[in-house]
Amino acid sequence: MERIRALIMLPRAPLACLLLLLLSGVLGGLVLSICPSVCSCSRGHRVVDCSSRHLSQLPPGLQHNIRFLNLSHNSLCGLDGQLSHYAHLRTLDLSYNLLGRFPSGLPRALWDIRAAGNQLRALDKNDTAYHWNLQVLDLSANELERVVFINNTLPSLHALNLSHNRFWTVPTNMPHNLEMVDLSHNYLVQILLGSLNRLPRLRRFYLHANRFSWVPEGVFDRLEGLEFLTLGDNPWACEEEENITKLLLWAEHTRAAVLGCPCYTKPTCGQSHLATPGGEWHFASYTEPPLMPESWAVGASHRLGLQSSLLGTWLSLCCWSLGRMETGVQPTARGTRTGLCSPPPPRTASPHAQAQWGTRAPPPRSPTQEARGAEATDSTHRSFIL
């Protein structure tokens, strides 16, 4: 009788184990595939969009293996150490929050960091010291006056966007493998001689809408890979022939395409290596984003809309180059955002600016720059994201 019972119970044990394994697998999948209630998720909950949710802190319930996290357009004040355990995170968007400093402890596996439109005032050497895999860094539309990079760090960084900030000097010691640098719409008045000598792969350099009156002779000579440079919307000292003539000669004979030739000579110059007609740059070329990271996928229709916005920006810049613009319009202050964090202090001239301009107010920006304003932030910088 006992043998019969044993034979009856024998198949039940494997069956029970099988059911237990199936049940644990289903429940385990539910546990691992968590999406915060305030966010939307896709691709197995590894792509998480928490943008424009009025968040003041990191939402709970993010699964450990997320690869894409969008926290833009919220009211986040600080995220120090809160994202360090997301070791698989590749793309992080913190744009348009209330961050007063660059978050510490970000995952070292990140490829792409977007922190535009915050209240960052400085980038210290330790903020990016261990981001060996970082390819794209967007810090546009902040309050940055200073960035510090350590030698031989950020070896994978290809694109750096520092536009719409408060720089007076082009940052030195920039990562050596950069292919695109955007420093447009700042207060730049000088480039230190030799500060660009270690950027052999730099292809696109955006310096328009600044306050350059002259640059040192030979400052661009070591940029061997330069293909595209913007110099328009700067108050060049055209009456100082000794300095400006050297820059004009370089702009005419460089292999790069220069948009916005100094002293309103013509809209574009350069490309001396093009010997056949039709090889020059056309406006359609200017509609291309500064850099298109392969890791950032976008829809074709959205990309077309952004290219149209860029076309308007470049066309306005080229039209500006055709004639001298009147000055005298003071720049409007950036709108103050409300939130849990205090707004940034009023803008004051840096010590270098005071030394440069003395007690006089810096020269106003041109009406072209004022007309672009917020539109440039939304179009040009979103083009960087694409």
Lowest mean pLDDT among 46-50, 232-236, 297-301: 297-301
Q: Looking at residues 170-193, what average pLDDT do you find?
A: 96
Three-state DSSP at 28 gives helix
Q: Does the pLDDT at position 185 exceed 50? A: yes
Q: Does the pLDDT at position 378 exceed 50? A: no
What's the pLDDT score for residue 80?
94
What's the pLDDT score for residue 288?
37
Consecutive H or E run containing 321:
helix 300-321
**Each residue's pLDDT tens digit, 203-241:** 999 999 999 999 999 999 999 999 999 999 999 999 988
* DSSP secondary structure code for residue 344 in this structure: P
Using only C-alpha atoms, the chain has a radius of gyration, in whole angstroms, of 26
pLDDT-derived band at 267 (thresholds 50, 70, 90) equals confident
What's the pLDDT score for residue 213?
95
pLDDT-derived band at 53 (thresholds 50, 70, 90) equals very high
CA distance 383 to 331: 24
What's the pLDDT score for residue 304?
40
**Each residue's pLDDT tens digit, 326-351:** 333 333 344 444 445 655 555 454 55
* DSSP secondary structure code for residue 289 in this structure: -
Q: Does the pLDDT at position 108 exceed 50? A: yes
CA distance 26 to 24: 6
Q: Does the pLDDT at position 360 exceed 60? A: no
Count CB neighbours of 80 within 10 A.
12
Q: Looking at residues 278-299, what average pLDDT do you find?
A: 39
Q: Does the pLDDT at position 370 exceed 80? A: no
pLDDT-derived band at 266 (thresholds 50, 70, 90) equals confident
pLDDT-derived band at 316 (thresholds 50, 70, 90) equals very low
What's the pLDDT score for residue 344?
52
- Which one, of 168, 167, 230, 174, lies nearest residue 197 by Cα? 174
What's the pLDDT score for residue 264?
78
CA distance 110 to 96: 19
CA distance 11 to 333: 78
Structure tokens at 111: 């490829």
Type of residue found at 145: E
Structure tokens at 37: 């209630």
Global pTM?
Answer: 0.70
Structure tokens at 219: 């400052």
Type of residue found at 304: L
Count CB neighbours of 344 within 10 A.
17
What's the pLDDT score for residue 34?
85
Are 257 and 283 in contact by the 8 Å Cβ rule? The answer is no
The strand pair at 122-123 and 91-93 is best described as unpaired
Could you give the C-alpha distances from 359 to 83, 158, 347, 348, 353, in angstroms and in order?
45, 39, 15, 12, 10
Tell me the average pLDDT of the chain.
76
Q: Does the pLDDT at position 317 exceed 50? A: no
CA distance 63 to 88: 10
Higher pLDDT: 273 or 370? It is: 273
Structure tokens at 133: 């895999």
Percent of the chain with pLDDT over 90: 56
Cα 191 to its chain centre, rounded Å, is: 21
Lowest mean pLDDT among 29-38, 81-90, 119-128: 29-38
**Each residue's pLDDT tens digit, 1-34:** 555 555 445 445 555 544 554 444 444 444 456 8
pLDDT-derived band at 287 (thresholds 50, 70, 90) equals very low
